[in-house]
Amino acid sequence: MKHTPRTHYRACNLCEAICGLEIQVSGDEILSIRGDQEDPLSQGHICPKGVALQDIYQDPDRLRQPVRRTATGWETISWTEAFDEVATRLQHLQATAGRSAVGVYLGNPNTHNFGTTLFLPDFLRSLKTPNLFSATSADQLPHHFVAYLMFGHYFLLPVPDLDRTDYLLVLGANPLVSNGSLMTAPAFPKRMRAIQARGRVVVVDPRRTETADKADEHLFIRPGTDALFLLAIVHTLFAEGLVQLGALADHVKNLEPVAAAVQAYTPERVAASTGVAAAKIKAISREFAAAERAVCYGRMGVSTQEFGGLCNWLVNLVNILTGNFDRPGGAMFTTPAVDTVLPNRAGKLGRWSSRVSQHPERFGELPVAALTEEILTPGDGQIRALVTSAGNPVLSTANGAALDEALGQLDFMVAIDIYLNETTRHAHIILPPTTGLETTHYDVVFHTLAVRNTAKFSEPCFEKTADQRHDYEIFQELTRRLTGGTYDPPFATPTQMVDAGLRFGAYGKTGLSVQQLQDHPHGIDLGPLQPVLPGRLFTEDKKIDLAPASLLADLVRLDGQLVELDNVAPDFPLRLIGRRQLRSNNSWMHNSQRLVKGGDRCTLLVHPDDAAAAGMVAGQVVTVQSAVGSLQIAVEISDEVMPGVVSIPHGWGHTRRGTQQAVAEAHPGVSMNDITDPHLLDALTGNAVFNGVPVRVVTG
Ligand SMILES: Nc1nc2c(c(=O)[nH]1)N[C@H]1C(S)=C(S)[C@@H](COP(=O)(O)OP(=O)(O)OC[C@H]3O[C@@H](n4cnc5c(=O)[nH]c(N)nc54)[C@H](O)[C@@H]3O)O[C@H]1N2
Ligand SMILES: Nc1nc2c(c(=O)[nH]1)N[C@H]1C(S)=C(S)[C@@H](COP(=O)(O)OP(=O)(O)OC[C@H]3O[C@@H](n4cnc5c(=O)[nH]c(N)nc54)[C@H](O)[C@@H]3O)O[C@H]1N2
Ligand code: SF4
Ligand SMILES: [Mo]
């Protein structure tokens, strides 16, 4: 049959950049995927993963019907049978062993699917388990923790106003590769060049990353010591009279306790620990304060480390104390068209604790570091069944190897996922939803974190078949069964919910609705970020708390770093960090040939001095050991890492048996998370530590 080619416009759902795509389609065939030049946010930008949406759509390995594991392999079953069995088993287990017996793990792509974002909460309420885990505690939890304490809402996250700043100080982020995180900034390369034309970009990172390489200045920092570095900056601001609150002066409190707390952290005192010279710390502080408009931005490198909470607090302080907060060119809040920063969801902390290690709950979740022990430790409240949705914790959480074994011991596991992978192979039933190009899309999460206010609604590029289900339909079906048929959501579809959100939202009066967005498939520009304080604060007194007590108290823990670092873990003298790659997306896109082609990218980066000292040569396979495990990997020697630091990209390790990802299995790599340690976490927030893991390398 001959089809008339058509052009489809939509937002890419793969990462936080939400790039506009222009897709040429003929029938069910994709002819091309390009960047949409008319998207008001991404302006034509696209990365190789966006093009690979085609591979996911066509992937013969992708699951399209529910499957059940049997003694002889996987069998296809009907949706009704699958829903009935899942609901019955979960219900039975909770009735006999209690609510805690069913655990839930939610992975990253949930956040990129508005149907899930809007309907998953109903499902979680129907299970009502205290054992909820997600990738949040392997990612951005410290940002939420600090936002809650300082601004009164866990989702009120400041975003760097990239397009108007003159000075960007980046700590522990690599946006030229990641395309920005908690900073939806498609076309980051272009935005960065524009900043450099106006001023400067400085990157602080233990690796000379792609971003650092293009920056005006790069400083190496010893992994995990950013809190000391930032304290010394704040110290310098006070010591040199550079504190200038500007318009926020009447809307902050507890400035004096901050001044007192940072007094001891002179640049001279932190220089040896951080590896950054005192004069350099002072110079950066002065430059930052002197810049007309400056912004400090920190991400994974300062979030997934032992002091993630302190780092994020201090990043906010640097911006606030220099008058670069809630004003153009500084750190700002968005005014999203659909507002998810709602008063009734400000967040809560510490209502319950994990059973085995007593980790307090944060915003309804327990740290994923506790998942394995909650499955393995017998007793009342033990997790006996697990629901995973869009997650691959075997590859993505600390000591995933131990979790891999634990999953094999569950009584029941159901995975809502599109692949049979390292995690879902343990499921008894897999429920595969539609994905990517088959879904409707409105980004309820990432418009809220974008460097510019815009709105975009995307129709599915391909209608689902009669035998497919969207993620939200799966959650609705399960919720209906788990509530005994009493479930009656106020909106039947996520589109209806978004339409209501748009009409009641900040631009509703101007007529913004789903219909209007459908009429403008490239998206609608709502303008640059606007100052919104103090109105948007959720603190009771409408003031920013500059010195929350738990953060001040955590400084005591940090002081342990002021001793000579080489003595901290003498058996493990090297520090392991991660390395995101442009053609990877966490663990799950390695089944796309165009993304994995070329040489093996899963290598151990070693500085030439460390390689020489240990007699390592390029390409040699070595053993990397940590306190919890070991792995074997080929060495790549480069001075892009600082001496004493080694780096492995995460998300690889497609060597486990019984998966169905032929391309990934042919390019397996190893999993860095086989050697990361769940006992090493940011004790304040419960977040995982993936950066600065003590390791040693054994040759021969
Ligand atoms: N060492 C180390 N570990 C890390 C990190 C690191 O930097 N270093 N990064 C951390 C970060 S930032 C994150 S976000 C986590 C990610 O951790 P996870 O979310 O656990 O892992 P992903 O690799 O994103 O796996 C996503 C899963 O979702 C499935 N999926 C894809 N699309 C869909 C869909 O539309 N619907 C459904 N239902 N399923 C879908 C995929 O098949 C895959 O199984 O990893 C963390 N782990
Ligand atoms: N291509 C691609 N893009 C992605 C993803 C992907 O997997 N691939 N994942 C997406 C996801 S889920 C997320 S959360 C974002 C993450 O986005 P980013 O945070 O921008 O990405 P990372 O590469 O994890 O950046 C962390 C940086 O911290 C550095 N670092 C490590 N330890 C330290 C330290 O102690 N101090 C300092 N200052 N730096 C340190 C690392 O060298 C690295 O450069 O990316 C998103 N975009
Ligand atoms: S940068 Fe992110 S949103 Fe843009 S095309 Fe690549 S994966 Fe998609
Ligand atoms: Mo992430």
What b-and-e string marks burial along 507-517, b requiring 16 or more CB atoms within 10 Å of the CB?
beeeebbbeeb
User: Measured between alpha carbons, how far is 415 from 419 in angstroms, rounded to an integer?
Assistant: 9
User: Measured between alpha carbons, how far is 320 from 251 in angstroms, rounded to an integer?
Assistant: 11
Q: Give a yes or no: residue 561 inside a domain.
A: no
Task: Kindly identify the ligand whose nearest atom is closest to the C-alpha of 300.
Answer: 2
Q: Give the distance (Å) from ligand 1 centre to CA of residue 570.
A: 33
Q: Which domain holds residue 681?
A: 568-698
Q: Give the distance (Å) from ligand 2 centre to CA of residue 586.
A: 10
User: Measured between alpha carbons, how far is 646 from 542 in angstroms, rounded to an integer?
Assistant: 45
Q: Give the distance (Å) from ligand 2 centre to CA of residue 587.
A: 14
Q: Is 186 in the pocket of ligand 3 (CB under 6 A)?
A: yes
In the listed set 553, 577, 609, which residue is the last one of a domain according to the structure?
Answer: 553
Work out the average pLDDT over 356-366: 98
Q: Is the pLDDT of residue 298 over 80?
A: yes
Q: Give a yes or no: residue 4 inside a domain.
A: no
Q: Give the distance (Å) from ligand 3 centre to CA of residue 13.
A: 7
Q: Is 19 in the pocket of ligand 3 (CB under 6 A)?
A: yes
Q: Is 674 in the pocket of ligand 1 (CB under 6 A)?
A: no
- Do 544 and 593 lie in a common domain? no
Strands (DSSP E) contained in 77-195 are 102-106, 132-134, 159-160, 167-171
- Do 594 and 549 lie in a common domain? no
The domain that contains 655 carries what CATH number?
Answer: 2.40.40.20
Q: What is the pLDDT of residue 140?
A: 98
Q: Is 301 in the pocket of ligand 2 (CB under 6 A)?
A: yes
Q: What is the pLDDT of residue 570?
A: 83
Q: Give a yes or no: residue 240 inside a domain.
A: yes
- What DSSP letter does each residue of 463-505 carry, written as one string? PPPTT---HHHHHHHHHHHHTTT----S-SSHHHHHHHHHHHS
- Do 544 and 631 lie in a common domain? no
Q: What is the pLDDT of residue 112?
A: 97
Q: Is 175 in the pocket of ligand 2 (CB under 6 A)?
A: yes
pLDDT > 70 fraction of the chain, expressed in percent and rounded: 99
In the listed set 553, 581, 600, which residue is the last one of a domain according to the structure?
Answer: 553
- Do 208 and 281 lie in a common domain? yes
Nearest partner of 614 among 508, 523, 519, 697, judged by Cα: 697
Q: What is the pLDDT of residue 3?
A: 82
Q: Give a yes or no: residue 19 inside a domain.
A: no
SS3 376: helix
Q: Is 14 in the pocket of ligand 3 (CB under 6 A)?
A: yes
The runs of H, that is alpha helices, within 339-388 are: 371-376
Cross-strand pairs, 204: 171, 219
Q: Give a yes or no: residue 6 inside a domain.
A: no
Q: What is the pLDDT of residue 514?
A: 98
Q: Give a yes or no: residue 581 inside a domain.
A: yes
- Do 192 and 235 lie in a common domain? yes
- Do 548 and 594 lie in a common domain? no
In the listed set 525, 553, 581, which residue is the last one of a domain according to the structure?
Answer: 553
Residue to mutate, 49, 108, 580, 590, ligand 1, most ligand atoms under 8 Å from C-beta:
108
Q: What is the pLDDT of residue 567?
A: 62
Q: Give the distance (Å) from ligand 2 centre to CA of residue 170.
A: 11
Which residues hold their Cβ within 5 A of ligand 4, which is an ion? Answer: 139
Asked whether the beta carbons of 419 and 63 are under 8 A apart, the reply is: yes
Angle at 63 between CA 60 and CA 69, to 5 degrees: 125
Protein residue with least CA distance to atom 8, ligand 2 = 585
- Do 189 and 222 lie in a common domain? yes
Q: Give the distance (Å) from ligand 3 centre to CA of residue 38.
A: 16
Q: What is the pLDDT of residue 565?
A: 61
Q: Domain count of the chain?
A: 2
Q: Which residues contact 626 (CB under 8 A, 6 or more apart)?
A: 572, 576, 675, 676, 677, 693, 694, 695
- What DSSP letter does each residue of 313-347 carry, written as one string? HHHHHHHHHTT-BSSTTSEE----SS----GGGS-
Q: Give a yes or no: residue 519 inside a domain.
A: no
Residues 627-674 have pLDDT tens digits of: 999 999 999 999 999 999 999 999 999 999 999 999 999 999 999 999
Residues 157-185 have pLDDT tens digits of: 999 999 999 999 999 999 999 999 999 99
User: Measured between alpha carbons, how far is 205 from 480 in angstroms, rounded to an integer?
Assistant: 48
Task: Kindly identify the ligand whose nearest atom is closest to the C-alpha of 395.
Answer: 1
Q: Is 561 in the pocket of ligand 1 (CB under 6 A)?
A: no
The domain that contains 211 carries what CATH number?
Answer: 3.40.228.10
SS3 561: helix
Q: Give a yes or no: residue 301 inside a domain.
A: yes
Q: What is the pLDDT of residue 569?
A: 77
- Do 299 and 169 lie in a common domain? yes
- Do 279 and 195 lie in a common domain? yes
Q: What is the pLDDT of residue 184?
A: 98
Q: What is the pLDDT of residue 451?
A: 98
Q: What is the pLDDT of residue 583?
A: 97
Q: Is 50 in the pocket of ligand 3 (CB under 6 A)?
A: yes
- Do 186 and 320 lie in a common domain? yes
Task: Kindly identify the ligand whose nearest atom is closest to the C-alpha of 47.
Answer: 3
User: Measured between alpha carbons, how far is 547 from 259 in angstroms, rounded to an integer?
Assistant: 10
Q: Is 176 in the pocket of ligand 2 (CB under 6 A)?
A: no
Nearest partner of 39 among 659, 618, 631, 458, judged by Cα: 458
Q: What is the pLDDT of residue 185?
A: 98
- Do 228 and 190 lie in a common domain? yes
Q: Is the pLDDT of residue 240 over 70?
A: yes
pLDDT band for position 566 (50/70/90)?
low
Q: Is 391 in the pocket of ligand 2 (CB under 6 A)?
A: no
Q: What is the pLDDT of residue 564?
A: 60
Q: Is 248 in the pocket of ligand 3 (CB under 6 A)?
A: no
pLDDT band for position 315 (50/70/90)?
very high
Q: Is the pLDDT of residue 568 over 90?
A: no
Residues 458-489 have pLDDT tens digits of: 999 999 999 999 999 999 999 999 999 899 99
Protein residue with least CA distance to atom 4, ligand 1 = 396
- Do 544 and 652 lie in a common domain? no
CA torsion sign for 164, 315, 396, 468 is negative
User: Measured between alpha carbons, how far is 161 from 244 in angstroms, rounded to an integer?
Assistant: 19
